[in-house]
Structure 1
Amino acid sequence: MEALECGHYLRSIKLLRGEIASFDHYPFSLPVIRNLDCLAFHPRVTFIIGENGTGKSTLLEAIAVAWGFNPEGGTRNFNFATRSSHSQLHQHIRLIRGAKRPRDGFFLRAESFYNLATQIEELGVGDSYGGRSLHEQSHGEAFFATFMNKFRGSGLYILDEPEAALSPMRQMAMIARIHDLVRQHCQFIIATHSPIIIGYPDAAILQITEDSIDTVEYENTEHYIVTKEFINNRKKLLPILLE
């Protein structure tokens, strides 16, 4: 893979531990937060992976809100709340920014995308998302249209489980689009379960466990190991799983 010139927009985050009264309550009781000090990001693409409930989305949401994005998604210009459910973690982290400022940015999260699409329709700004109502498309089509049309160069993009709406083919198309945008000086931070998406090269994979956040190689991720094992040994595994 060729070398790409792209500086950090977001270099790292620091948990302001001295400002937290107690680590006994959510979200500070999550092991990933309780054990967090500083977390550094790759200048181009950082993946955050981990089992359900480990705090990936909570952490990503806090980063996005601290940056100025709406908790339910969109650009920094969006200011709506369908249901206020985000944690207060964003008030207890410090963003360590790079020297360059992004000209664009977007927070895209699968669980609240319907709410975002409704807001886009009410504002009448659908032309920027492909010119077709997002509500007149399938969830996957609308999600992909947003990713393909709204993301531009020199941007910071935070994605929470984008694979939830995308077929395997669309996930591979997403990798290609990510690479196009990286070459246009973009930085991505992505929480995902997809063994396809985390296959993007020259990226950092941060794996959340009960004790820590560690950088891991693609072939050492549970996503890769479990998926490969199932595909290669499906006929042996299914009787065990279904007995």
Structure 2
Amino acid sequence: MIFDVNDFEKEVIDRSKTIPVVVDFWAAWCGPCRMLSPLLEELAVEAQGKWDLAKVNVDEQEAVAVAYGVSGIPDVRIFIDGEEKDRFIGLQPKAAIKSWLEKNLNQKALKIKWKTALDLFEQGKFHEALVAFEKEKEKPENPQEFLIYAKFLLLSDPQKALAVLQPEMESEDPFSYEAIKCLGTLLLGEEIEKLGETDEKKRFVEGLEAIKKLDIEKGLFHWISLLHINKNIGEGLVLKAVRSLFRYLGPRHPLSLKYSRAFSTAVNV
């Protein structure tokens, strides 16, 4: 079902307790919105009733947009069991959206392994998450689980994390795959020569060192601070790194929510 939202609480929150609801926050004046909406509608039709697509015009539903912190559009979110589970912002290719949907619709199954570690990761307790991951000693059995496996390995052994990645895993979750690949490469000291011998490179490396010590917030802060100076530093390397870190954390992670506005300001000024 595809419908325009009039009562968000009833039509999205309550309805999502019965069937997953994907919400498309859009506006008529937004070019990327007009390109994204048909892709979402195609996927909704192809889903054959597995989930509903709810469309929210932010100009007509301004109070809802403000209440849910919509700061940039298109903004797409999925609600399951009365709660927002995930989101993405901006125009995405159909294949990436399809993978994002599949990941979230299968979320409960994905979290069977390393559940304690995943919960701690989502709380921003990275050291505790890594300890829990190493204690559980579960072995991945499919591409989705290998991605989660690589996600935790990145915190302790980026070289091994990159070795775990296989091309067939990319279709499972392109965002996570590319984020792990990018961050793993940076943590191994590759590509940073693009920054030259500059103060910016020194600050970028300080961010890398903080991430290696599991102080993800410090690393994210350092990198976003660089974007406020120049968003094109290092041929776009810093911008790519920050986007990868956000995708690695996930859109609902406390750090993503805390720093999304600062990031948006840095890249849109």
Structure 1 or 2: larger helix share? Answer: 2
Under a length normalisation based on structure 2, what TM-score does the superposition of the two structures give?
0.28
Structure 1 or 2: larger strand share? Answer: 1
Under a length normalisation based on structure 1, what TM-score does the superposition of the two structures give?
0.30
